[in-house]
């Protein structure tokens, strides 16, 4: 009976109701973040322990403040820093490089600083960074022990350079070449969400091939990263339309293809990307547009996400609340002074997971694949390394 | 012809080919296009990928290449020439890729013993053709189970695989009826109807426009394929997607019968992302037929028009290695890249 049900709900004490499910999880994350900040306003140099390399400290702070954003940029920046870390590394007198460098006493120590710098992820770095670090540690373990420290360091630095070239520069060029094929010589309308460096490269490649097409950049109010893409495209003389997510349905009417970037590709073929990507993909799929995700193999993860909270990142919640709030919204309702409200929380999640069913193709350096091929391709690529 | 006296390194002259379909190599010229079409004409049961394989192995037979590298280059060139000389190269690409992969795999055996290598190559080219024919029968054997007593099978166009399947079902004593569309200007459906009626199967030949109308009468839709792609889509005669859509509306299963040598590593996500030249949609303000397009590549005539069936509309692929879901079929193709 409906009346009984209502009675039951009323009986539940307000306290326990508040702390269930996602809310409870978020509360936990928030308190964890509070712990991490240790009552300080921001993350800074003080958070680093003594032997964290200055370049890593800088990178950590840049990541924490959102100055360096995006999986590709962060991973490449991290590799550049690690290159310097290795260059500056000196083996303690009673140690050998192979045994000392990769351990928690040195390299892992640097990494854990980066992990702590990234706001709210649990104890994990995104797959692109994690995979790169795993690769570096394997490289270190493969060093010939007879090599002098200087030569070993030289070798590692060369290997890092080669890795950046192979996994990012060359891979991106291959992906751009494959993906540009989904843009017609004339008349294509590409819809993309926020800014992805690889999608930008695809569009520039298509332009280079003298294709005439239009780009619709869909953006969100919080990060406004799409504006960077618009800026680049306009400079390259590409026709651009810039909208926010609420206009998606309107602009999708004449789109022909949806190109998306990714933070990581999960083992079940779903894709973790800037929050809002899933919405864009769902809307594009609804119009039966091809939804194409461009991602380098280094972003492929062997994990699966069951919810969207773990491995996510918390952005600045104040970014959700417009600054000039009082003039634009004379009656702000519950959000005004939300920090003081005991039962209100504002959460700005940075990533979301696009389910595999919405994706027509994931393009990596091994060519176009279906989301269902991801585990197979990852396994084979790992075997070849 | 001046080209006969051109420098005699294999494959180096092809960029300036004056005529389509001819490969110039150490042995002079070889009209691979004509050879290919002769194969298809002389044996109507031969499918395109197999004809491509046989043409390439004939080229190898005649080639005086002395190293594997030289031979590979000639083959690469020949495959490219052949692809460029036909408006719809999808299925012959499948064959050519298969042949190249076969060569590459054998390459590792013993690169020094080139003569033996060439010999095995010649033998295997013909083995391919035999296997292909066997594959078709296997597909038919696997697909027979799809036809149950009292069912009505909906067909479109003409497919050797499907015809073999229906005939096999009939000889196995299955009682079933067939609906087949006339299929556009090619009237291939009429050919299917004639062949099946000869075997005593009751066939209704319907106009294409009655596809959706007749669908409620059917229990299963069977179609052949020219090519199966890495995304699980497949290429077939024009109207196939329409039939699959009608089938989806009435919730009828759609099975595609295809041998695995038709699997090809392409990833077309829509109708126009194909290496096929066909001008179906022509905007014009006069009632005169649209003029021939001026591109160098020959365009498909109405007889050869094709379209793609998206994987969401396909229930499964019946192949000689068993029944595959569209995802599985696509996955097999993606995995072929790493072999």
Residue A329 has pLDDT above 50, yes or no: yes
Q: Quote the minimal CA–CA distance from A282 to chain B in Å.
A: 16
Q: Indicate the CATH number for domain B2-137.
A: 1.20.120.420
Residue ranges with strand state E in B26-109:
28-31
Best to test chain A binding among B248, B270, B272, B324 (most A CBs inside 10 Å): B270
Distance from C-alpha of B316 to C-alpha of B220, rounded to nearest angstrom: 12
Domain ranges of chain A: 14-172, 175-316+348-384
What is the rounded average pLDDT for all residues in chain A? 84
Q: Quote the minimal CA–CA distance from A256 to chain B in Å.
A: 10
Distance from C-alpha of B180 to C-alpha of B187, rounded to nearest angstrom: 11
Domain ranges of chain B: 2-137, 147-336
B9 — contact with chain A (CB < 8 Å)?
no
Q: What is the pLDDT of residue A35?
A: 57
Q: What is the pLDDT of residue A3?
A: 44
Residue A322 has pLDDT above 50, yes or no: yes
Maximum separation of any 2 CA atoms in chain A, in Å: 80
- The DSSP bridge pattern shows strands A271-274 and B220-223 to be unpaired
Name chain A contacts of B273, Cβ cutoff 8 Å: 181-182
DSSP, residue by residue, A129-182 = HHHHHHHHHHHHHTS-TTS-HHHHHHHHHHHHHHHHIIIIIIHHHHHHHHHGGG
Contact B271, B308 (CB under 8 A): yes
Q: What is the pLDDT of residue A287?
A: 92
| Predicted structure pTM score | 0.84
Q: Quote the minimal CA–CA distance from A258 to chain B in Å.
A: 11
Interface of A with B (CB under 8 A): 181-182, 184, 257, 290, 292, 360-361, 366-370, 372-373, 376-377, 380, 384
Note the ipTM here: 0.79
Average pLDDT per block of 10 residues along chain B, 339 residues long: 37 46 63 85 82 83 75 85 86 87 72 71 74 87 91 95 94 95 93 95 96 96 95 94 96 95 91 86 81 66 90 95 94 89
Best to test chain B binding among A373, A383, A384 (most B CBs inside 10 Å): A373
- Under an 8 A CB cutoff, do B231 and A360 touch? yes
Q: Quote the minimal CA–CA distance from A135 to chain B in Å.
A: 21
pLDDT tens digits along A215-266 = 999 999 888 899 999 999 999 999 999 999 999 999 999 899 999 999 999 9
- Return the CATH class of domain B147-336: alpha beta
- Could you tell me the sign of the dihedral formed by the alpha carbons of A195, A201, A206, A207, in that order? positive
> And the tokens for A23?
């809310």
Q: Indicate the CATH number for domain A175-316+348-384.
A: 3.40.50.10470
- Could you tell me the sign of the dihedral formed by the alpha carbons of B157, B162, B168, B174, in that order? negative
Closest to A192 in 3D by CA, of A181, A177, A202, A184: A202
Q: Is A70 helix (H, G, I), strand (E, B) or coil?
A: coil
Q: Is B53 helix (H, G, I), strand (E, B) or coil?
A: helix
B21 — contact with chain A (CB < 8 Å)?
no
Contact A332, B241 (CB under 8 A): no
Distance from C-alpha of B136 to C-alpha of B308, rounded to nearest angstrom: 22
Distance from C-alpha of B118 to C-alpha of B68, rounded to nearest angstrom: 9
Q: Which of A42-46, A96-100, B293-297 is the least confident region? A: B293-297
Name chain B contacts of A182, Cβ cutoff 8 Å: 269, 273
A-chain residue closest to B336, CA distance: A377
Beta bridge partners of B264: B229
- Under an 8 A CB cutoff, do B265 and A366 touch? no
Burial class (CB in 10 A: 0-12, 13-18, 19+), A92: exposed
> And the tokens for B12?
């180096």
Name chain A contacts of B327, Cβ cutoff 8 Å: 370, 372
Chain B residues 207-246 with a CB less than 8 Å from chain A: 230-232
Chain B residues 33-62 with a CB less than 8 Å from chain A: none
Q: What is the pLDDT of residue B33?
A: 83
Which helix (H) or strand (E) segment holds residue B264: the answer is: strand B263-264
At A160, is the pLDDT very low, low, confident or very high (cuts 50, 70, 90)? very high
Q: Read off φ and ψ for residue A147, nearest 5 degrees.
A: -70, 145
Name chain B contacts of A380, Cβ cutoff 8 Å: 335, 338
For chain B, give the number of residues: 339
Q: For residues A271-290, give the mean pLDDT.
A: 94
- Under an 8 A CB cutoff, do B327 and A181 touch? no
Name chain A contacts of B231, Cβ cutoff 8 Å: 360-361, 368, 370
Residue A288 has pLDDT above 60, yes or no: yes
- The DSSP bridge pattern shows strands A264-265 and A271-274 to be antiparallel
- Under an 8 A CB cutoff, do B330 and A370 touch? yes
- Under an 8 A CB cutoff, do B267 and A367 touch? yes
In eight-state DSSP terms, residue A121 is -
Q: What is the pLDDT of residue B46?
A: 78
């Amino acid at each position: 009976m409906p009346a009984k049900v209502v009675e039951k709900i009323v009986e539940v004490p307000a306290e326990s109701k508040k702390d269930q499910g996602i809310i409870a999880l978020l509360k936990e994350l928030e308190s964890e973040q509070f712990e991490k900040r240790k009552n300080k306003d921001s993350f800074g140099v003080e958070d680093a322990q003594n032997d964290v390399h200055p370049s890593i400290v800088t990178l950590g702070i840049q990541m924490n403040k959102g100055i360096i954003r995006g999986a590709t940029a962060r991973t490449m920046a991290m590799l550049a820093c690690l290159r310097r870390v290795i260059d500056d590394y000196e083996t303690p007198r009673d140690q050998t490089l192979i045994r000392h460098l990769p351990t928690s006493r040195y390299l892992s120590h640097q990494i854990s600083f980066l992990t702590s710098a990234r706001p709210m992820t649990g104890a994990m770095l995104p797959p692109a960074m994690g995979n790169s670090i795993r690769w570096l540690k394997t490289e270190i373990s493969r060093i010939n022990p007879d090599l002098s420290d200087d030569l070993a360091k030289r070798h590692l630095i060369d290997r890092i350079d080669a890795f950046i070239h192979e996994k990012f520069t060359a891979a991106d060029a291959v992906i751009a070449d494959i993906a540009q094929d989904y843009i017609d010589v004339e008349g294509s309308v590409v819809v993309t969400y926020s800014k992805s460096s690889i999608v930008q490269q695809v569009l520039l490649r298509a332009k280079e091939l003298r294709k005439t097409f239009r780009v619709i950049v869909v953006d969100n109010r919080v990060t406004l990263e799409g504006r960077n893409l618009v800026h680049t495209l306009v400079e390259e003389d590409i026709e651009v339309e810039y909208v926010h997510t609420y206009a998606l349905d309107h602009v999708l009417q004449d789109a022909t293809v949806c190109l998306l970037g990714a933070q990581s590709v999960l083992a079940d073929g779903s894709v973790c990307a800037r929050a809002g990507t899933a919405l864009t993909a769902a809307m594009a799929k609804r119009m039966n547009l091809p939804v194409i995700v461009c991602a380098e193999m280094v972003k492929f993860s062997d994990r699966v996400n069951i919810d969207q909270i773990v491995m996510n990142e918390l952005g600045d919640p104040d970014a959700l609340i417009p600054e000039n709030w009082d003039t634009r919204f004379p009656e702000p309702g519950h959000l005004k002074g939300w920090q003081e409200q005991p039962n209100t929380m504002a959460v700005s999640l940075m990533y979301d997971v696009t389910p595999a069913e919405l994706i027509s193709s994931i393009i990596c350096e091994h060519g176009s694949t279906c989301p269902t091929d991801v585990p197979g391709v990852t396994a084979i690529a790992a075997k070849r390394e | 012809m001046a080209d006969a006296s051109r420098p005699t390194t294999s494959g180096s002259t092809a960029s300036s080919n004056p005529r389509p379909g001819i490969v110039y190599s150490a042995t002079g010229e070889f009209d691979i296009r004509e050879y290919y079409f002769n194969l298809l004409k002389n044996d109507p049961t031969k499918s395109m990928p197999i004809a491509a394989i046989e043409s390439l192995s004939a080229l190898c037979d005649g080639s005086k290449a002395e190293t594997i590298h030289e031979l590979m280059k000639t083959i690469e060139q020949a495959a490219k020439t052949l692809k460029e000389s036909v408006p719809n190269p999808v299925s012959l690409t499948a064959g050519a890729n298969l042949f190249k992969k076969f060569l590459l795999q054998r390459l590792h055996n013993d690169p020094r013993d080139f003569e033996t290598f060439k010999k095995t190559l010649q033998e295997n080219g013909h083995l391919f053709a035999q296997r292909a024919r066997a594959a078709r029968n296997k597909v038919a054997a696997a697909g027979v189970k799809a036809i149950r007593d009292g069912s009505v099978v909906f067909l479109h166009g003409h497919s050797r695989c499907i015809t073999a399947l229906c005939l096999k079902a009939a000889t196995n004593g299955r009682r079933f009826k067939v609906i087949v569309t006339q299929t556009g200007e090619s009237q291939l459906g009429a050919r299917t109807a004639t062949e099946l009626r000869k075997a005593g199967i009751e066939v209704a030949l319907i106009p294409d426009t009655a596809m959706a109308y007749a669908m409620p009468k059917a229990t299963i839709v069977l179609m052949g394929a020219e090519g199966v792609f890495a995304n699980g889509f497949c290429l077939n005669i024009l109207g196939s997607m329409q039939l699959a859509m009608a089938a989806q509306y009435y919730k009828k299963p759609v099975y595609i019968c295809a041998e695995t040598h038709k699997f090809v590593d392409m990833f077309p996500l829509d109708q126009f992302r194909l290496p096929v030249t066909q001008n179906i949609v022509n905007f014009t303000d006069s009632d005169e037929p649209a003029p021939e397009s001026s591109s160098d590549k020959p365009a498909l005539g109405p007889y050869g028009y094709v379209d793609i069936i998206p994987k969401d509309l396909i229930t499964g692929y019946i192949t000689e290695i068993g029944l595959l879901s569209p995802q599985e079929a696509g996955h097999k193709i993606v995995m072929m890249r790493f072999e």
